[in-house]
Amino acid sequence: MTREQKDNLFVLIKSLSKSEKRQFKLYVGRLGVNEDSKFLLLFKILQKLSFYDESVVLKNGFVKKQQLSNLKAHLYKQILISLRLNPSHQNIRIQIREQLDFATILYHKGLYTQSLKILDKAKSIAIANEEKNIANEIIELEKVIESQYITRSISNRADELTIQAKDLNNQNLLASKLSNLSLQLYGLFLKKGYVKHASEHDKVTTYFEERLPEYKISELGFREKLWLYKSYLWYSFLIQDFLACYKYSRKWVNLFDEYPTMIRLNPVFFVNGTQNLLEALFYIKRHDKFKESLNNLITITNKDWFPKDDNVQSLTFLCIESNRLNAHFMEGRFKEGLPLVPEILEGLQKHKSRIDEHHIMVFYYKIASLYFGVGDYHNSIAFLKKIISNKSLQMREDLLCFSRILNLVAHYEAGLDYNLDSLIKSTYKFLIKMEDLHMVQREMIKFLKRLGDIYPQNIKTAFRELHLKLKVFENDPYEKRAFLYLDILSWLESNIENKSVEYIIRRKYLSLNKIN
């Protein structure tokens, strides 16, 4: 890990666009006294560095080592203030908080009427935009002012504020419980992946049902429905009920059709919802709806009004590029997907400070699968090694497991069988350690282990026998996940028929969609 990633100030400065840097200098220079300020000198030095080097800063002599920490903290704060003033970072949420700040200042000056007027307007905007936490803060300040401002009709006002506070507290409590559940299920999915057997299924179901709060769907607003659908979605993914995944991701995306203004205010939730919808459609093989949803996402995110901040752009990159790859996997067009690889690698480099390791590894697995599909096994192995050599277990365990299985198959296909025995042993040990050695993996490892003892004239018979054994697991609730990561059946069929994997998958796609 480089020091660039460790120094927050340096990372922040490097994330600034040209216009943001220009605005910061204008913001600092609004008073002549700041033109030669130490924090501006520090800013100018850091923006020129390619990586953070404290010694370079100290060599300039304008700050001592023991003062540097405070100076950096001051510069960090000034950059954030400048960014807050930038129109590109202004949204409804920030504007409401700004009005709350103004009202607080007026209250402390004793200008109660003016403060209440601003608060009432800000509260209406907050409720209209589903910003119920801020609305609750506004009401609490209104209650403080009303308790000491005696020139208004306090009786009706007290009842009104009490009822509003009670309703918002109930909604906020429900949203909090649902968001907690959603986050916990998502964390479980990232760590463990899909459930592996019936006892895990029962454990996850019990966990979900015990934590799901009571609700009436007719009484829920946008925010509560959003967290509800997210909770059901992650539960459905965990138990591999992909039709239910489609159902709840569809409800999630449809929320934004019902509340179109929420796309601009919550672009991250919109993109995430569409990503999960696309993933569900990929698994249930609804190719027509997949293309329609992907094209809709691309169209909306390219609109001028769609937010384009760094975070949203990184998330949009992840979603669109990942599903462009999935489209090629579905249609069996692996060769046509190869030009995406350099674009994706360039994008990963561009967004590296905002993309977590798990998502990078998922891209590497997809790229490895793409190369495998066109028969470029050496490149496939190269990308799989990036995953296998990663010692962090913060990514999904099943991704780590199936990377090793695909690595074995790629080594066999590439003719790199001189160390296949040691690879098989290390893979076997890893799967046992991960408690992930199921029938599909067992049969695959047994098959690869005895490949060297099979005579060439009997090899197709051996492939057919393995195909028959694995075919029965294709729809097994706990074994079928193996086929989500690695289309083993298509690989076996390609060896049986002497056709490429790409040809086999393409043929299945055409048959499924009744295309000549």
211-254: pLDDT as tens digits:
999 999 998 999 999 999 999 999 999 998 999 999 999 999 99
Using CA atoms of 72, 74, 79, 81 in order, give the dihedral in degrees to the nearest 10. Answer: 160
| Structure tokens belonging to residue 340 | 């995406």
- The secondary element (H helix, E strand) that includes residue 98 is helix 92-108
What pLDDT score was predicted for residue 35? 55
What pLDDT score was predicted for residue 4? 42
Residue in this structure with the two tokens 């004793």, named with its chain if needed: 110
What pLDDT score was predicted for residue 152? 53
What pLDDT score was predicted for residue 137? 92
* Count of C-beta atoms within a 10 Å radius of residue 243: 10
What pLDDT score was predicted for residue 134? 92
Answer whether 231's CB lies under 8 Å from 178's CB. Answer: yes
What pLDDT score was predicted for residue 34? 60
What pLDDT score was predicted for residue 223? 93
More confident residue, 428 or 255: 255
What pLDDT score was predicted for residue 396? 64
| Structure tokens belonging to residue 19 | 């216009």
Calpha distance 489→463 (Å, rounded): 10
Burial class (CB in 10 A: 0-12, 13-18, 19+), 290: buried
- Domain assignments of the chain as residue spans, ordered by start: 3-89, 92-152, 166-239
Q: Could you tell me which residues come within 8 angstroms of residue 36 by beta carbon, excluding any fewer than 6 positions away?
A: none
Task: State mean pLDDT over 335-345.
Answer: 95
Q: Give the pTM.
A: 0.80
What pLDDT score was predicted for residue 192? 75
Calpha distance 130→136 (Å, rounded): 11
Farthest CA pair distance, the chain: 99
More confident residue, 398 or 34: 398
What pLDDT score was predicted for residue 342? 96
Calpha distance 306→316 (Å, rounded): 11
Answer whether 269's CB lies under 8 Å from 226's CB. Answer: yes
Tens-place pLDDT, residues 278-315: 999 998 889 889 999 999 999 999 999 998 888 899 99
Mean predicted lDDT score pLDDT of the chain = 86
Tens-place pLDDT, residues 66-76: 888 999 999 99
Torsion sign, CA atoms 149, 150, 156, 159: positive
More confident residue, 437 or 479: 479
| Structure tokens belonging to residue 362 | 């998922």
The answer to whether residue 481 scores a pLDDT higher than 80 is no
Answer whether 390's CB lies under 8 Å from 360's CB. Answer: no
The answer to whether residue 359 scores a pLDDT higher than 90 is no
The answer to whether residue 33 scores a pLDDT higher than 60 is no
Answer whether 375's CB lies under 8 Å from 387's CB. Answer: no
Task: State mean pLDDT over 28-47.
Answer: 77
